[in-house]
Amino acid sequence: MAGMTDSAFRRLVKRHGGCGLVVTEMVSSEGLVRGIDRTLEYAEYTEEERPISIQIFGGDPEKMAEAAHIVEDLGADIVDVNMGCPVPKIAKHNAGCSLMREPQHAAAVIGAMARAVAIPVTVKMRAGWDERERNAPALAKMVEDAGAAAVALPRSPCTAVPRRRATAALPTGTSLLVSPTTSRFRCSAVAIASNRRRWSRE
């Protein structure tokens, strides 16, 4: 989470115990490729935090692949792609949750990254762009086929459209999508948020 999961926070969580993987704040692929000092600071970590995943965002396949390579060179164990951020300054640049509106392009981004690095490429997405565009199951299959090793799926949509009312309604127990007994998905792991509280947001 931007502004929260910095290195100090991640180390506190690891020391508390029970955390198998920590993830950085989301890092701009553009900033990584350009070598911007402030961006590189977001990707800093300590050995105490391992295994560590560096999460990046962007919408250009070539730049995302180059950024993934930089993440690998930094020694990260995993490179994660943010396809869930609804913040306008991110989404309006064909990054974050807006990638869910262009599944073929999103898959192309993941494919380019997977070909560029040896470390796992993972994806964090939402249930969809909004209540009417809930395409996570189809997109998860597409990014898996493109090379994603794991998909993390909060059950809420992006709710990125301003001043709209949204209610999280992904049914509890989505075993059809993620059960190890089904051959529909072959990725190594799938994480789904389990908060059952329904919420609404204006």
Structural class in CATH, domain 7-201: alpha beta
Whether residue 25 is predicted with pLDDT greater than 70 in this model: the reply is yes
- Note the pLDDT of residue 4: 79
3-class SS shares of the chain: helix, strand, coil, % to 5:
40, 15, 45
- Read off the pLDDT of each residue in 39-53 and give the average, rounded to a whole number: 95
Higher-confidence residue of 76 and 179: namely 76
> Average pLDDT in the 88-117 region?
93
Which of the residue ranges 89-98, 116-125, 149-158 would you say has the lowest mean pLDDT?
149-158
Q: What are the sequence ranges of the domains in the chain?
A: 7-201
Catalytic residues: 85
